Amino acid sequence: MDKTQYTNLAKAWEFAEEHALERQTAIVSAVRAKAEQAGQPQGSAAQAQLLAMLVHLTGASSVIAIGTGSVVETVQLVEALNGGGQLTAVDSTAQGIAMIRKAFADLQDVTDTSLRAVNAPAHVFLPRLNANDYDFIVVAGDAANYAAAFNQASRLLRSRGIIAFTDVLATAGDQGGVLNAADRSAKATAMRELIATVEDNGDFESTLTPDGTGLLIACKR
């Protein structure tokens, strides 16, 4: 591709993001505003809608959301469950879990989805869950969440279940993330290792997309 095509792709990403923000429900918009006011930056709206679409496409009814303050994506996943199933949110930070619990409390009157918020590191909580009991796992936040989640994914997911890793390009920092080979920060290094590990794992089919700040989607065979 030439420079013009790359420029158009950047404009397309911007258009899609602005369009997704406009299409957010009132509940998701309010959650985003409150989280950002509290100093918890939220991820891409287009990415959150794509994750919700994966719930619809797969007919998922049992979802795990793992992340550090990823409130918007969690609420969008709840909405995608259409009042059924269950969603378990796992957050190791006090502020993040407090925001998720507040969002869940607000959602109790508008959904019959079973909601559970757990304040624990992923590597501690996930091994306690039943095997082959989940359809969809979304991972965000601290680098430690990613390896811990993938270590348990094959055990936790049903056949054809999906695990989606957000922010795998790690571009939020000032060193360029995975896009810059010279960036050896903890997150960029962890994401390079994650991509290689997932793509080399024979139990999963995977694809890497540029949605949000990088989305790695893997489907259990």
pTM: 0.94
Q: What is the pLDDT of residue 176?
A: 85
How many domains in the chain? 1
Write the pLDDT tens digit of every residue in 121-172: 999 999 999 999 999 999 998 899 999 999 999 999 999 999 999 999 998 7
Write the pLDDT tens digit of every residue in 199-221: 999 999 999 999 999 999 999 99
Q: Determine how β-strand 215-220 pairs with β-strand 204-209.
A: antiparallel
Q: Which residues of 139-173 are buried (b: 16+ CB within 10 A; e: fewer)?
A: bbbbbebbebbbebbbebbeeebbbbbbbbbbbee
Q: What is the pLDDT of residue 173?
A: 67
Residue type (1 letter), 164: A
Q: Which domain holds residue 133?
A: 3-220
Separation of alpha carbons 199 and 38, rounded Å: 36
Please report, for the domain that includes residue 48, its CATH number.
Answer: 3.40.50.150
Write the pLDDT tens digit of every residue in 173-202: 667 899 999 999 989 999 999 999 999 999
